[in-house]
Amino acid sequence: MTPLLPSPEHYLQNLLTMTSPEAKRLWRRAIKEHFNCQCVYCGESYELHELTLDHVVPRFYGGETTTRNLVPSCRKCNQNKGTSNWLAWMRQTFGITPREDLILSHIK
């Protein structure tokens, strides 16, 4: 969650003093929180540190490291999906689920 600071000036200060690794950590955390700390593939809930970020379109196929191409995934799903097409893999593994729409609206 976003830290609760005493005044707007504190947020500005925080923003200006943020280092690149901190910004990256915050970004990664924001993506996980956006999906309520659930693996988008199996739908299970996890602690922040247990979740990985999966490239929906694998880097191997030119998938970019941007918010629209990253979703939280448990290690097991991330590993099993590998370089497969996400939708084909997901349907094969879990059948058709509403989580497909979550991903589709995130990546478009």
Q: Report if residue 77 touches Zn ion, rule: CB under 5 A.
A: yes
Q: Report if residue 53 touches Zn ion, rule: CB under 5 A.
A: no
- Looking at beta carbons only, is 14 or 83 nearer to Zn ion? 83
Supply the DSSP symbol for 103: H
Q: Tokens representing 10?
A: 């504190």
Q: Report if residue 70 touches Zn ion, rule: CB under 5 A.
A: no
| Selected binder of Zn ion within 32, 41, 71, 99 (CB under 5 A) | 41
**Spatial distance between the Cα atoms of 100 and 107, rounded to a whole number of angstroms:** 11
In the 3-class helix/strand/coil scheme, how is 64-102 assigned residue by residue? Answer: CCCHHHEEEEEHHHHHHHCCCCHHHHHHHHHCCCCHHHH
- Looking at beta carbons only, is 39 or 90 nearer to Zn ion? 39
DSSP annotation string for 43-55: --B--GGGEEEEE
- Choices 7-15, 18-26, 31-39, 47-55; region in contact with Zn ion by CB under 5 A: 31-39
| Selected binder of Zn ion within 38, 39, 56, 69 (CB under 5 A) | 39
Instruction: Write out the residues near Zn ion by the rule CB under 5 A.
Output: 39, 41-42, 74, 77
